[in-house]
A and B are shown apart, each in its own frame.
Chain A
């Protein structure tokens, strides 16, 4: 009954989305206020129906109603409640419904918080959002219905894929989808601007909070996914250049470029056409990501669906939106007048350079990801494009970007002074160079590349701090004067500093992990000792342990540092009872920013057990850097400038701040 209710709600949501598209776009074209003002309520009602469908699906999963095919295939009655719920989107059908739910949430938010948008722009934006929703709902209803019944109903389900039975599944996909789908708003704004043939600095100010929100979620989603892979897959890697990872990195790069070019547009009324193009590109890459993951065109750890009918449908969606929007762009972009002028050496110039490198990196990753598919389709030759290729091509682009990054915020708008900027950065560069050189001397025989990476990471971090010190006149006047300057800074200034700091911090972690990790691959018997880093691990033996739907073989390790016990690690080999699949559960302990990581292998013939033990100094900085970047985004989004004339429920915060 609940399943049928969900199915029915989904069909209603589809019909409503069609209406929302037709009425809003028609109303906007005819400038009919009545029709245009219907867009908001329809978006809200659409959200209601999708939410009802999604809740119904959650309900049948929680009840373990195995007469529903999707529940049977992805759940088990003994599964903990958390994994019954997360199992909803741990499969193709449910994850598409989550995608549409997130889309409906964003549409509803636009409907609620865009009262101050020009009504025509608002109607067009909601019309485009409705079109995206309609197409994806049709896709779900025709090829991926999560509510299909089985007859006769099986008595027990087949359990969620053990690798997915983790808290990571509760967080990673929703965050990622909030990011992917969030960029649909800037896409809709771009299409609306093209339809109207009019765009100005206010447009950038309306789009930026939405793009920022999407970017924050995508940043956190990627960082979270990376950490999940790190602790779950059991060999300590955190980024594999897997096509599915690339699918999330590409919109992130394009979205980052979009945020930067939108700043230029908002401040200087320049780069308008490019910003619109980036908004289209970013969402196109999100759709491409969805296509790559969902169509089964790639075979990778993340792909749980292999059905050609779906693939063709998603390819059609992709063609419709990407092709359609590019055609519209080619036709209408000429209507958008280019704006403000600037010298090559200026803040605008630096942001353009940032866009060039980000776009080149995104293009490189796109090519690398699709090239094997295209080559095989055209010539039949099979090649692989993997991590070494991306490290060698995208890596240098990222490093160039980071070297340029500290200079950007120090340059003035319109016309900057390069010599002055160099002067202000020379201290940061010297200190970073000295530390990098020192590291070469300290870690004898350490890789040179690590020292270079260290230099760039430290320089990026120091550069971000120099810019902050510069803005607040730190070390130049009295402390209290500086503090009052800090209080007077717009929040977006903190945002810039934090985001740039975060990137530097993440690189520091990446460099340390690559350059100074230690690894031991050993066969252990009870009582054996392993020395790694400053730690002394003693293997205490193996004990069995029983969970709700799994059985563990737990290896117990006692960790000493300087003779004192500092931790006990319990890595495990976990076997799931329903179908006998097994996973590795790494034992991880954090010391400072570094981590001790132990992963257990199989028992060997002579009674010993194999183990991989790592000491990874500073490794947590990789993800903390991502979190710092996201916090920077939150600061930016809370900036007063974006709230005025931007989505804002109550107008109580618009009192002007006291002058500095």
Chain B
């Protein structure tokens, strides 16, 4: 943690205005470059504040961008690159957390919320229907009829 803070301070003081993705980083192969860009959008710049390495101009982000391009060029799949970075920096580097016991709740919650909310709604509706389905008694029907006819007479 202390090292992390040190790096943070060191980087902040160095924030020269370097630039996310410098021209000299771009791979000549367009397909590989597109993959590298897509991948780097899902990786966190560890010393920045909520930026992907694709958006960040920190030196560390540049190092990571170069590193992942090296790996992609040498034939690694996206997942292999991710695994490598996680082994080096921990799960923190992934902007999209992988499904495991720590993140199960996180991933399940949106769907679960929708399902639970939906069920609650259905229950509420059925309860409402129960009241609505309460039929009128014969006497009430008579009264209703009289009232309706009465209003008709008035209208005419």
Residues of A within 8 A of B (CB): 235, 237, 240, 242-243, 299-301, 303, 341-342, 344, 352, 356-357, 359-360, 363-364, 367-368, 371, 375, 379, 381-389, 392-394, 397, 521-523, 573, 582-584, 601-602, 610, 612
Expressed in whole angstroms, the minimum distance between the Cβ of B79 and any Cβ of chain A is 14
Q: How far is the CA of A393 from the CA of B105 in the complex (A)?
A: 13
| Bound Cα distance A388, B98 (Å) | 11
The contact sample of 30 A-B pairs, CB cut-off 8 A, is A235-B20, A235-B55, A240-B50, A300-B50, A356-B114, A356-B118, A357-B114, A367-B106, A367-B110, A371-B106, A379-B102, A382-B90, A382-B91, A383-B94, A383-B97, A383-B103, A384-B44, A385-B95, A385-B97, A385-B106, A386-B50, A388-B41, A388-B96, A389-B95, A393-B107, A523-B24, A582-B16, A601-B17, A601-B22, A612-B20
- Candidates A300, A387, A389, A583; contact of B97 at CB < 8 Å: A389
Contact residues, B98-145 vs A (CB, 8 A): 102-103, 105-107, 109-110, 113-114, 117-118, 121, 125, 128-129, 131-132
Interface residues in B71-100 (C-beta closer than 8 Å to A): 90-97
Question: In whole angstroms, how far apart are the Cα atoms of A573 and B17 in the complex?
Answer: 8
Residues of B within 8 A of A610 (CB): 19, 22-23
Contacts of A237 in B (CB 8 A): 55
Chain A nearest Cβ from B62, distance in angstroms: 12
Question: Contact between A384 and B92 (Cβ–Cβ < 8 Å)?
Answer: yes
- Given A381-B91, A388-B42, A584 and B17 contact (CB-CB distance below 8 Å): yes
Additional pairs, 19, CB under 8 Å, beyond known A242-B50, A393-B107, A602-B16? A235-B20, A299-B50, A301-B50, A341-B132, A356-B114, A357-B114, A360-B113, A364-B113, A367-B109, A384-B44, A384-B92, A385-B106, A386-B42, A386-B52, A386-B96, A387-B95, A389-B106, A602-B18, A612-B19
Q: Does B32 lie at the interface of the complex (its beta carbon under 8 Å from any beta carbon of A)?
A: no
Q: Which residue of A lies closest to B38 (CB)?
A: A388
Complex Cα–Cα for A382 and B92 (A):
5
Tell me the nearest residue of chain A to B122, going by C-beta: A344
Give CA–CA (A125, B104) in the complex, Å.
42
**Interface residues in B, total, Cβ within 8 A:** 43
A383 to B90, CA, bound (A): 8
Assembly CA distance A454 to B125 (angstroms): 34
Among residues of B, the one whose C-beta sits closest to the C-beta of A388 is B96
Chain A residue at smallest Cβ distance from B95: A386
B106 cross-chain contacts in A, Cβ below 8 A: 367-368, 371, 385, 389
B44 — which chain A residues lie within 8 A by C-beta? 384, 386
Report whether B23 and A522 are in contact in the complex, using a CB–CB cutoff of 8 Å: yes
Q: How many contacts between A and B, using CB within 8 angstroms?
A: 121
Q: CB distance A363 to B92 under 8 Å?
A: no
For residue B66, CB closer than 8 A to chain A, the reply is: no
- Enumerate chain A residues within 8 angstroms of B55, measured Cβ to Cβ: 235, 237, 240
Q: Which residues of A contact B102 (CB under 8 A)?
A: 375, 379, 381, 383
B-chain residues with CB within 8 Å of residue A242 when the two chains form the complex: 50
Asked whether, in the complex, the Cβ of B49 is within 8 Å of the Cβ of A300, the reply is: yes
Q: Which residues of B contact A385 (CB under 8 A)?
A: 95-97, 106
The CA-CA distance from A115 to B110 in the complex, in Å, is 43
In the assembled complex, how far is the CB of residue B121 from the closest CB belonging to chain A, in whole angstroms?
6
Give every chain B residue within 8 A of A341 (Cβ-Cβ): 128-129, 131-132
Interface centre among A235, A237, A242, A386 (most CB of B within 10 A): A386
A342 to B124, CA, bound (A): 11
Q: Smallest Cβ distance from B93 to chain A, in angstroms?
A: 7
B26 contacts partner chain A, Cβ-Cβ < 8 Å: yes
**Residues A359 and B97 in contact, CB atoms below 8 Å apart:** no
8 closest A-B pairs by beta carbon, nearest first, are: A386-B95, A601-B19, A388-B96, A364-B110, A523-B23, A382-B92, A582-B17, A393-B110
**Do residues A387 and B52 form an inter-chain contact, with CB atoms below 8 A?**
yes
Q: Is the CB of B18 within 8 A of A601?
A: yes
User: With A243-B50, A341-B128, A522-B23 in contact, do A364 and B109 touch (Cβ < 8 Å)?
Assistant: yes
Chain B residue with the shortest CB-CB distance to A379: B102
Contacts of B95 in A (CB 8 A): 384-389
Shortest B22–chain A CB gap in Å is: 6
Q: How far is the CA of A299 from the CA of B45 in the complex (A)?
A: 13
| B21 beta carbon closer than 8 Å to chain A | yes
Task: Report the bound CA distance from A506 to B109 in whole Å.
Answer: 27
Cα A243 to Cα B23 in complex, Å, equals 30
Q: Which residues of chain A have C-beta atoms less than 8 A from B17's C-beta? A: 573, 582-584, 601-602
Chain B residue at minimal CB-CB distance from A575 = B17
Contact of A602 among B19, B41, B52, B93 (CB under 8 A): B19
Q: Which residues of B contact A364 (CB under 8 A)?
A: 109-110, 113
| Complexed CA–CA distance, A301 and B56 (Å) | 12
A344 to B127: give the CA distance in the assembly, Å: 12
Tell me which residues from 15 to 55 in chain B have a Cβ below 8 Å from any Cβ of chain A: 16-24, 26, 41-42, 44, 49-52, 55
Closest to A353 in B: B121
Give the shortest distance, in Å, between B40 (CB) and chain A (any CB).
12
> Which of B26, B94, B113, B129 contacts A384 (CB under 8 A)?
B94
Say yes or no: A387 contacts B91, CB within 8 Å: no
Distance A242 CA – B114 CA, assembled complex (angstroms): 24
